[in-house]
Structure 1
Amino acid sequence: MSERGAMLGLCTVELFLPNGHSLKEKRQILHSLKDRLRKLNVSVAEVGDQDLWQKALLGIACVSNERAHVTSVLDQALNVIRGVPTLEVLQSRIELL
């Protein structure tokens, strides 16, 4: 292992759920999505818009000793999210710390 130090990647994703008709339905969709994302060994949480039926703000974090690995994992996470037909990505942002 190299001595480069830890690299933290944070991805925030604003989502629109066009078919969301209740908070219960929204939470079911997000729970399924979060389970799929965790298979990528990331931490994921709903960090905003919890009281809105059709919007969600997710935070996804990844830690590694290599910048390329962090970037790759967060790109994969975004691809998983974009592959969900019941969701629309309004905005996404990746920060490396």
Structure 2
Amino acid sequence: MIVYAEVEFIIHTAHSLKEKRAVLQRMTMRTKQKFNVSVAEIDHQDVWQRTRLAVVTVASSKEAADREMNHALHYLESNPQWEMLDRWREYL
């Protein structure tokens, strides 16, 4: 089972692309290390306070994939430096 999610965040503390990328790189790297997911920025690369991330996980069952995705999304959402604006999920 493959679970694909898109999440959009606003980074209130970023005042430049450099600050945005520092927050983004730290969170994507930690998320990949802690959970069995892949993460990539897919939109708003040139906007310094917004980002849209794609998160994907693969597992042998829907329940396992869903659990891993829930943990990863909860971890991403727990960062106090940004606020989640939108979340979308698809099962493939």
Q: Same fold (TM over 0.5)?
A: yes
> Which residue of the other structure, out of 40, 44, 51, is the alignment partner of 1:49?
44
- In structure 1, distance between residues paired with 2:14 and 2:26: 14
- In structure 2, distance between residues paired with 1:12 and 1:95: 9
- In structure 2, distance between residues paired with 1:66 and 1:91: 26
Structure 2 unaligned runs (5+)?
none
Consecutive aligned runs of 4 or more in structure 1 exceeding 4 Å deviation: none
Cross-structure match for 1:91: 86
1:13, CA displacement in angstroms?
Answer: 0.3
1:81, CA displacement in angstroms?
Answer: 1.2
Q: CA offsets, 1:25-77, max 9 Å, x none?
A: 10000111011110202110001000000000000000111000111111111
For the aligned residue pairs, the C-alpha RMSD in angstroms reads: 0.7
Cross-structure match for 2:3: 9
- In structure 2, distance between residues paired with 1:84 and 1:15: 10
TM-score, scaled relative to structure 1? 0.90
Q: How many residues align?
A: 91
Cross-structure match for 2:65: 70
Identity %: 35
SS at match of 2:26: helix
| Residue 18 (1) aligns with residue 12 (2) | yes
- In structure 2, distance between residues paired with 1:21 and 1:57: 17
TM-score, scaled relative to structure 2? 0.95
Larger radius of gyration: 1
